[in-house]
């Protein structure tokens, strides 16, 4: 599921990042129900403010090592730096 706010860059509020973070914090509970949150997010929809350690968990070190080996110039970061 992709969570959207329904605005474009031309009419986005100044505090858009804050609004997105607040909505994202509630989304897991709204979808799964209280006490059933997983904290899992599809990597294709990550933003620079997502906590990558939390998203990728114990795999983050391995992912960073792979990225350093196969993408040393950062060409495939899609705005989410590992």
Residue-wise pLDDT for 27-42, tens only, equals: 878 887 888 877 776 6
Model pTM score = 0.46
Phi first, then psi: what are they for 70, rounded to 5°?
-100, -10
User: Does 23 or 64 have the greater pLDDT score?
Assistant: 64
User: Which segments within the chain are labelled E, that is strand?
Assistant: none
11 pLDDT more than 90: no
Q: Tell me which DSSP letter residue 78 carries.
A: T
């Amino acid at each position: 599921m992709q969570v959207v706010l329904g605005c474009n860059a031309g009419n986005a509020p100044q505090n858009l990042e804050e609004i997105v973070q607040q909505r994202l914090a509630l989304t897991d509970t709204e979808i799964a129900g209280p006490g059933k949150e997983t904290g899992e997010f599809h990597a294709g929809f990550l933003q620079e403010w997502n906590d990558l350690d939390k998203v990728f968990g114990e795999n983050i070190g391995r992912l960073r090592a792979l990225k350093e080996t196969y993408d040393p110039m950062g060409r495939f970061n899609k705005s989410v730096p590992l």
